[in-house]
Structure 1
């Protein structure tokens, strides 16, 4: 079974307040995106990556790829106006049966162990959606009111969202809906069940300056 990671790196980093997209900011001397790509490549020597980037940032992305030891296993393609379209563009390059990982380019601290667990569960159940329990109090806002939700029933969803290709590829033939917040919602809209797997609290999405500082501390440890 082929292993293919679709790495989506189309953000512009507006909340980061930087002059360049957040995936190109340096973390421990290397671009955030470099760390993400390297983690997948070092997990298996037969895994391929499809890197989805905005057209205007493909040259920068290619420079990063060329610094990787296994750069020949990375293919760059152009993203779309939405995450759905960007992922769809990446998936369009997959022609053979595979386990497909769809991952955020700025979640660079995931472990190889998580990637391998997602792969194994996907072989057994068809999908693996990393999730962690909420640790804060949760309130649901309705109109001008709000109420406490049972946080024991809440899960924070992460990536890599992992699927067998015969589930994921047909699901992305649907028309886009605003309810598509991630790949799991796309597959569910196609009438298929998805399965959660325990994620990692260190698998943070670097979105704000404080996230980058936290990542620096984690990676140095």
Structure 2
């Protein structure tokens, strides 16, 4: 019995020494330099008027391993990250054409705007908790690789998109009112009054007859 205890103690000390040595050598072997590469994929001039910005923060967690085993024997690999998303609701003023503006009277015009467009962006990703799966709390056997983190990011972005989609109608209405207020306030500086028209939701504005467009309430 004493020999068995000594053997187990020796194995435990040996494994512990091996893990400590690996970590020390790994830290010393880590590179001290950082290399970055920047690629400009697209540069263009835009004429967007943003009427509404909505931001959301989401904490997403992904686990991998055998959940039915006690953590003391085998802990699961876990990745938790904080994602910050932003969705902008805007109109592209670069799409305006001469026929979208019509004189409605002295100092008064009718303006037909493009449809509201929503753009979802991932602003920031912050690692919250990243742990590899370990045996007896010592040996890392389930690594947290780039594929796991990439899959987590895709799932979080899909969930954020669903959240925004569920409230798109309300956000778009608020964005329309915000854009109308700003355009009218700007044109009022030139003593110009404007009646704003919007296309029907989900319809192309180009070439639509006047009775199919939804006019905004006129402001005297």
Q: Which has the higher strand share?
A: 2
User: Larger C-alpha radius of gyration, 1 or 2?
Assistant: 2
Relative contact order (alpha carbons < 8 A, sep ≥ 6): 1 or 2 greater? 1
TM-score (norm 2): 0.21
Give TM-score, length-normalised by structure 1. Answer: 0.21
